Structure 1
């Protein structure tokens, strides 16, 4: 049996796009190394958005590179989310105290519901309200990628929320430190506010480190407590999506009740909590997770079309900015309640 000419020419159709994503991740690392205030993952998304706007690059993005970009944005994203679980120790979260844990969970749930409602009120299409709510309330573009693995949105539906959460998270790096002393917060309270109110883990680190090591430590633990909410929220979305498939077409393939990568994320959390992993393992997993998410976010970024976003996306922009203000206010309230 002979292979077709197309199969001979392109035995691995995803390889060119995957190589470009890897090179983009390396470039994003270079930007972060030169300007540490710029989170690596934010640099990767922005680089993808820039490439997606270049007329000279667009034929390749939608042609020969498309399979690899799609593989990165979907499959590598899920693997990165699983490895993200190795950052989480239930013991560290318990150390926050029950008041801080409950207020952090409340911030996630209220901001998720509020953002989803704002998006629906403004008439955002398709899954955009759900994706924006997930990204803003939990952990930025990584959460959007995780939710996309369940609801299977169109590329443009996922690209706009990624652009918005990158924009607003970047604004937080510069705006929140300006309000630190004006709000009368000490360093640890500022770290708590950042962890509860800023979207991406890298953006949290970039913002909180300004106030010192104590603020950064609190910010990271609070942020990872929010990340833990990714599993139940995505699982609930999977159940709703499964029910919708059953009602729409009983013969259609049903999504899993708990997606495999969500189960993997939970297993990784339990491993980190109960298994004494050597630093070499955790550091290696952290590096791999960062590389995979950088490649995935570059792939997602290339799907953003700024002309379309500017021309028809004002409602999405208003939703994102309103959600940003809502989460910052709720997070500040959580700080004050915990300090009382």
Structure 2
């Protein structure tokens, strides 16, 4: 047990060690050039964790490992639960049924397509395929982190998925404003989108919340309705992570039984209760019982806890475990990227029709 009398000191030291890394990541993410790139503390944290894992890992007292593991699992689940304070049901209702349908369609199609392509076409291990697909389908690194406990995946698989989210999410952040200015804004016919529709397209197809916020801000003179639609649709995708994880748990149990894995741990139905609690927190937040100032503080704490979890996962990522994967993760993430950009455009035009 992590906090048994004999392990307590090592666990606390490990947690403090991870917290120091997370604090450094938070500071670095706030620096001008890094902030301009839209890189969140979560991304900086996992990079720092991976660097440490492949350089100085053997210098750490082994007693601290329980604290790192605690940060990557228990703190992670708690952070996902209070992530619900970023969302209200009123926000989801405000964007309308068309925004909801775009979110649902893109999440479902991207998750299924990415999982299938990664595993069946590019030969990637199943858990890594699902993690990579979840990051693209829902909300980037946070979705990968939330999916990892359901799959019981190893840290390096999570790191692979997060790296793909960072790569193609960053490309999206620069590509979409250029597309809007050069093609979409002044086009006629099917290629044209009004600002609200483009916002729905952005929110329904770009990986990270921070990247979604950055795109309308990068469009010269973009109207407020573009940014509002983008963020609300994105948060609609975020809240869908809870039902997605529940369905994933049902699928894993069904698949394990079908394969004859009566003794396989994944045969047992896994209900991700932290995802259920996440929805409950979002529901509570919808009543606005807590002043917004305090909600903002909770969200800042939550970002730090997520950064700790991401850093801890990075600390368990050894490059030697990547051998044999080749370019399969990049092929899978690239295929999903094309679907999000092209397929997402078509889906948005068909559903919204503006």
| TM-score, normalisation: structure 1 | 0.87
Correspondence list, 1:323-338, <5 A? 323-337=336-350, 338=352
User: In the alignment, what sits opposite 1:25?
Assistant: 22
Are 1:238 and 1:255, in contact at CA under 8 Å, matched by a contact in 2? Answer: no
> 2:289 — aligned with what?
276
- Describe the shift of the 1:39–1:248 C-alpha distance in structure 2 as closer, same or farther (beyond 3 A): same
1:233 and 2:244 matched: yes
Give the aligned partner of residue 298 of structure 2. Answer: 285
**1:93 and 2:92 matched:** yes
Q: Which residue of 2 aligns with 1:83?
A: 82
CA RMSD of aligned residues (A): 2.7
CA distance in 2, matches of 1:215, 1:40: 26
Q: Does 1:103 align with 2:114?
A: no
- The separation in 2 between residues aligned to 1:234 and 1:168, in whole angstroms, is 23
Q: Is the 8 A contact 1:144 1:161 kept in 2?
A: yes
Deviation at 1:178, TM superposition (A): 2.6
Flag the 1:244–1:101 CA change in 2: closer, same or farther, 3 A: closer
Q: 1:163 to 1:307 in 2, by over 3 A?
A: farther
Deviation of 1:98 (Å): 1.1
1:156-182: CA deviations, max 9, x gaps?
Answer: 222211222122222222333232212
Check whether the contact 2:115–2:126 (CA below 8 A) recurs between aligned residues: no
Deviations 1:287-337 (A, max 9, x none): 121111111111222333456547633111211121122112233224433
Alpha carbons of structure 1 residues 19 and 233: separation in structure 2 relative to 1, 3 Å: same
Q: Is the 8 A contact 2:139 2:209 kept in 1?
A: yes
Alpha-carbon distance between aligned partners in 1 of 2:8 and 2:242, rounded to the nearest angstrom: 36
Cα 1:30–1:176 change in 2 (3 A) is same
**1:223 match: secondary structure:** helix
Long gaps (5+) in structure 2? 186-193
Structure 1 residue 195 corresponds to structure 2 residue 195: no
Gaps of 5+ in 1: 1-5
Q: For residues 253 and 190 of structure 1, what CA distance do their matches in structure 2 show?
A: 41
Please name the residue that 2:52 is paired with: 51
Deviation at 1:266, TM superposition (A): 1.2
Q: Which residue of structure 2 lines up, in the alignment, with residue 263 of structure 1?
A: 276
